Amino acid sequence: MENCGVYPLRRHAQHIKQPFTETGTLLYNFVCDLIELLVKHQSPKMKIALTAAAVLTPTESITNGVLIIEDGKISKVGARTAIEVSSGAKHLDFPDAVLAPGFIDIHIHGGAGHDVMEGDSAALAAIETSMAKHGVTSYCPTTVTAPLDKTLVALEKLGKAVKNSQPNGVRARPLGLHLEGPFISTAKCGVHPLADITAPSLELFEEFWAAAQGAINLMTIAPELPNAPEVIRTASARGVRISLGHSDAEAAPTKSAIAAGARHATHTFNAMRSLNHRDPGILGVVLSDDRLSADIIVDGVHVAPEIVKIFLASKTEERAILITDAISATGMPDGRYRLGTFEVEVKGLTCMLDGHLAGSVLTMDSAIRNVMIFAQWSLQRSVRLATLNPARLLGIDDRKGSLAAGKDADVVVLSTSGEVIRTIIGGVGA
């Protein structure tokens, strides 16, 4: 339920054309009172104390930890021996679980049967509710290459959704858009429609920027394309994080893009020039340059477990980021599902179109568990790849991505094996 629509319900009764009977009025008032009571019960302004076997901040693990939430923010975090839980606080104890920061997905196209480019409130509500069930508290709705008119309409709708985003129950909240395409290589486009791919230009970037009301946080671009450095410099100056991907670039243009301001790489290995020991190309630069963070799809389909281990050894827990690249089929049965303006065939964990992988049905909690299995990493190390690291990339680590006093109360309660027990967003859900 939307906060802006709850309390005025009784006030709006006079505008309903069909008059209430006396019984109807009593019933209507009862429903209004009940809804108001439920919303108050979920209010982030309540003081809440969470205790668990451990708190993963994630840079440290606090045994027998406690986390205090007030007004939707974390006010205290530490060991139970150091922090007293006041008698007036709502106390939730998870003796066999751990507390971690809410997950952040910077690359997601949809879920629960909906694509983010639909842009309407019902579609986004379904996607955001589905994500929250898997521990995601914040995300970047990600576009896919489409005809210009459809892209501009989607950007306008999504930009408004970001600008108007308000606490609204246990739903992941949009941070800003990820523009994936159309500034990508035709040689490494994957399933992006060839007819709609175009060379980077400042004029087109300005159109995208205006349509999205400046709500573009991340943009994928192929560095070898004409005008790429110029567009990278301009977008970076606006605060857009530039990610290199869908690229057949050699090493030289990749390094030029980094010099122009690029700081990240999109779904490393996928839709990317292969590594050669004498011609390292974009992949060699991505893996070796510490100025770049990089993300990866760890679903066991896009990248083999051995490659995941090589990636993590190269980028380390400081610069590796997990993404889902999830599409509308996530959480749904096998079948045909929308990705942008086209449909893909989904069977099991695989999404395909004309012999090419087309996104995933991966969830972020599964990605974390896969890292634990594939690389034998601890839960604490694995969680960092979906929390602090994406927050740092987006420049929001002052308020998200870790559990510390003053930060948003976005918390996920996990089993020791990484299963989601509860998701709390801005203090709501506790």
Enclosing H/E stretch for 244: strand 241-244
3-state SS of the chain: helix, strand, coil percent to 5? 35, 25, 40
Separation of CA 228 from chain center: 26
Residue 152 has φ and ψ, to the nearest 5°, of -65, -40
ω into 167 cis (within 30 of 0) = no
Residue 346 in tokens: 């989904």
In this structure, the number of other CB atoms found within 10 A of the CB of residue 363 comes to: 25
Residues belonging to the chain: 430
Task: Please indicate whether residue 325 is annotated as part of the active site.
Answer: yes
* CB-based contact 318:324 (threshold 8 Å): no
Residue 251 in tokens: 């090493």
Side-chain half-sphere of 111: how many Cα atoms within 13 Å?
30
Rounded Cα gap, residues 398 and 374, in angstroms: 31
Q: Where are the beta strands (DSSP E) in 44-132?
A: 48-56, 61-70, 73-79, 90-101, 103-108, 110-111, 114-115
The one catalytic residue in 115, 325, 365, 410 is 325
Rounded Cα gap, residues 100 and 142, in angstroms: 25
> Which of helix, strand or coil describes residue 338?
strand
Residue 246 zone, left/alpha/beta (φ > 0; ψ -120 to 50; rest): left
Cα–Cα separations (whole angstroms), residue 327 to 110, 192, 351 = 4, 14, 9
Cα–Cα separations (whole angstroms), residue 166 to 218, 336, 426 = 21, 32, 10
Active site positions, annotated? 325
